[in-house]
Amino acid sequence: MGDSTAAKVADLLSQMGLDEKIGQMSQLNGGGGHLPEYLAEAMRAGQVGSVLNEVDVEIVNEMQRICVQESRLGIPLLIGRDVIHGFKTIFPIPLGQAATWDPETVKQGAAISAMEAAAKGVNWTFAPMIDITRDPRWGRIAESLGEDPYLCSQLGVAMVNGFQGDDLSETGSIAACAKHFAGYGAAEGGRDYNTANIPENELRNVHLRPFKAAADAGVASFMSAFCDLNGVPATGNRWLMDQLLRKEWQYDGVVVSDWESIVEMTVHGFTADDEGAAYEAVSAGIDMEMASSSYRDHVENLMAQGKISLQQIDTMVARILTLKFDLGLFDNPYTDPGHFSAPLNRSHLTAAKEAAVKSCVLLKNEQRILPLNKSDTNSVALIGPLADQPYEQLGTWVFDGKAKHSVTVLEGLKELLGSEVTVNFEPGLVSARETSRDGFAAAVTAAEESDAVVMVMGEESFMSGEAHSRANIDLPGIQEQLIDAVAAAGKPIVLVIMAGRPLTLERVVEKVDALLYAWHPGTMGGPAIADLLFGVESPSGKLPVTFPRMVGQVPIYYSHKNTGRPASEETCVRMEDVPLGAPQTSLGMSSFHLDAGFKPLFPFGFGLSYGRFQYVKITTSHHSIALGETIDIFADIINAGAHPAEEVVQLYVRDLVANVTRPVKELKGFRRIFLKPGERQRICFTLHTDELGFFNREMNYVTEPGQFHVWIGGSSDASLWAEFEIHE
């Protein structure tokens, strides 16, 4: 907070009554297209600090007018909205954006989303969600940036910068919110809202890292998590919110509760009633209550009892007022839509298409069936329940995007192919959940009459997102049986998956010739997929999360610990290979599943392209460096294929011996490069010893001397490695 802003805040605080201060700490839900009189009266009384879920710009301006002109002190409103992966122009779901491994693409998507939302009066979004999750059953994995704290940190900061711009007061900038603080992605069983038990060392080394990065990047706000973290709900967790966030990290932005998460502490069994919940939330430092009314109902009484001090309230209200000054709301609380470009304009749609192209991950390409060639193809069968479902391709958390603006795969293929290639479309199934085989025969006929088959399968949009967890993460319904039926036609099959999570596809992968994972790709998913299928673009996405073979492997992630008995090809025995009467100690005695082995279906960072990349000649600038120094790691990358393509080059490191056990590999850098056929490029990554640190047993961040291994490659399975040492 600058000196002038601090003085303005202090002056305003000195004029406020307690009811007005409590009002600033209260966020109420909007009327959804109208302004209820009770809400207008509360605004006139100065008892509302923020409204969420109102996107009619005329109503928003009227609410601001009431607050500024009819309330005693004229304090404008924060207008909140979940602008998660687009507003009118819908980008790929955040997990899909993470698959781009491209901070600039993520930043651009957030900036466009902010611009479109700001045109409606929105000045605060509840994104990015930077929970680390390693459980694809959890519905909100769709809203996440994946399993890795480094990748999540880089992309989360990019999203913050896109939403907020260089100056929060600039036209089109809106305040971002880092959520959910903290540990929500580790909810037990992948069930939303569930308990999270995370040792402090793991919390610091994994789950808190993206939040620290967002705080350091100047994110305007944090949101508390719904979950109970180690026995204390995050919304009332003083260690988390006060000791760590405020004192240790020195974060001075706004902290808002999640929807009714304050009063839900009573449901958790943490407080006896809503008054107790309000006390715990204020004591932890939750500045603003979302949706529920425990602050309005109980804070004054808590102060009268001496349980809450005026200084606590003033500190919290000061943070809220500071954000409003930073947003420029006191200078101009109103929104003039004429100052904004139209939503869904050509540049916005182009950006959405480019993001969708980069987000798609090619997981299989047997006999290099892709890209399809227009000149060699007379007809294509397009089959599947998601091939022409404009709403379903948008994905979760789409409040303001409309299905009518989506361009489906069917439309994208027809536009790209024109009259050159016939598209024989038969959905086969009415929906992804359909269990009737009535459409199978027509789908098989379409396949028999075509040169190649494109099948678009997966999850409907509702199957992921908040409260939409799944225990079985196979393809829903009888989609696999449809694949079986179509495969009998004997034509090459390209499977496109639209989904909000990694699905368990081990059986399915064997039945198709190519597999393109498109997540839920957003408004321009259809044209993006069409361009990829026919080679206008080369796939360049990489997995931001590990794909299990079966759900019983969960959690499975690349940066696991080695254990005392690590699995290997030599020690891992599949159950079907074990002879009858085998003794207990005959199976290698290592860490694996008898029925799934120890490897995932697809590893973190994996993704094919139409290029063929080779990694050679890894070297380091030094064999040994001192603490406080840097080291350069080099490798050569060659495109030995026939297609120009982009590759995401990845850097991994292992600290071999440490005060606490360290992962077998950790991502420490990545870079997109473009190579023409036959082109060779040398890549250099520079690492400072501080980047190799971790939180030790005493919870101190340290870099220790010792031996390190380093890899450069195209996935976490990179095999090209070198070693170096850090000395004191």
Q: pLDDT tens digits, residue range 478-530?
A: 999 999 999 999 999 999 999 999 999 999 999 999 999 999 999 999 999 99
Of 94-103, 363-372, 578-587, the poorest mean pLDDT is in: 578-587
Q: How confident is the model at residue 607 (pLDDT cuts 50, 70, 90)?
A: very high
In-domain check, residue 90:
no
Same domain, 588 and 646: no
In-domain check, residue 595:
yes
Same domain, 643 and 671: yes
Give which of 333, 336, 325, 223 is closest to 281, Cα–Cα: 223
Bridge partners, residue 364, by sequence: 515
Same domain, 509 and 626: no
Q: Which domain holds residue 503?
A: 351-533
Report pLDDT for 573.
Answer: 82
In-domain check, residue 133:
no
Same domain, 577 and 456: no
What totals of helices (H) and strands (E) does the chain contain, helices first?
A: 20, 26
Same domain, 374 and 522: yes
In-domain check, residue 472:
yes
In-domain check, residue 209:
no
Q: How confident is the model at residue 160 (pLDDT cuts 50, 70, 90)?
A: very high
| Distance from the first to the final alpha carbon of the chain | 39
Q: pLDDT tens digits, residue range 118-146?
A: 999 999 999 999 999 999 999 999 999 99
Q: pLDDT tens digits, residue range 346-397?
A: 999 999 999 999 999 999 999 999 999 999 999 999 999 999 999 999 999 9
Q: Specify the CATH number for the domain of residue 453.
A: 3.40.50.1700
Q: How confident is the model at residue 1 (pLDDT cuts 50, 70, 90)?
A: low
Q: What tokens were used for 474?
A: 């196979």
In-domain check, residue 266:
no
Same domain, 497 and 377: yes
Residue with tokens 């491209």: 102
Give the separation between CA 247 and CA 252, rounded to whole angstroms.
9
Mean pLDDT of the chain: 97
Identify the burial level of 292 via C-beta atoms within 10 angstroms of its C-beta, where 0-12 means exposed, 13-18 middle and 19 or more buried: buried
Same domain, 420 and 510: yes
Amino acid (one-letter) located at 299: V
Give the separation between CA 541 and CA 95, rounded to whole angstroms.
11
Same domain, 592 and 624: no
Same domain, 580 and 632: no
pLDDT above 80: residue 91: yes
Give the side-chain half-sphere CA count within 13 A for 332: 9
In-domain check, residue 452:
yes
Give which of 184, 201, 199 is closest to 662, Cα–Cα: 201
Same domain, 519 and 652: no
Amino acid (one-letter) located at 163: F
In this prediction, what percent of the chain has a pLDDT beyond 70?
Answer: 99
Report pLDDT for 31.
Answer: 77
Report pLDDT for 589.
Answer: 87
Tell which wins on pLDDT, 594 or 672. 672
Alpha helices in 365-523 (DSSP H): 409-417, 440-448, 479-487, 506-509
Same domain, 720 and 644: yes
Residue with tokens 């069983």: 189
Give which of 439, 434, 433, 438 is closest to 461, Cα–Cα: 433
E strands along 63-191, which residues? Answer: 78-81, 124-125, 177-181
Q: Tell me how far the alpha carbon of residue 544 is from its chain's centroid.
A: 9
Mean pLDDT of 541-568: 97
Give the separation between CA 439 and CA 231, rounded to whole angstroms.
51
Same domain, 634 and 581: no
Catalytic residue among 82, 258, 388, 531: 258
User: Domain tally for the chain?
Assistant: 3
Q: How confident is the model at residue 32 (pLDDT cuts 50, 70, 90)?
A: confident
258 among known catalytic residues: yes
Of 358-362, 574-578, 653-657, the poorest mean pLDDT is in: 574-578
Report pLDDT for 694.
Answer: 98
Q: How confident is the model at residue 586 (pLDDT cuts 50, 70, 90)?
A: low
pLDDT above 90: residue 576: no
Q: Which residues contact 81 (CB under 8 A, 6 or more apart)?
A: 52, 53, 55, 117, 122, 124, 125, 126, 399, 400
Q: Is residue 399 left, alpha or beta, with left meaning phi > 0 and alpha meaning psi from -120 to 50? A: alpha
| Cβ atoms 521, 403 nearer than 8 A | no
Q: Specify the CATH number for the domain of residue 715.
A: 2.60.40.10
Report pLDDT for 33.
Answer: 83
In-domain check, residue 152:
no
pTM here is 0.98
Give which of 314, 462, 323 is closest to 395, Cα–Cα: 462
Give the separation between CA 156 and CA 150, rounded to whole angstroms.
10
Q: How confident is the model at residue 217 (pLDDT cuts 50, 70, 90)?
A: very high
Q: How confident is the model at residue 570 (pLDDT cuts 50, 70, 90)?
A: confident
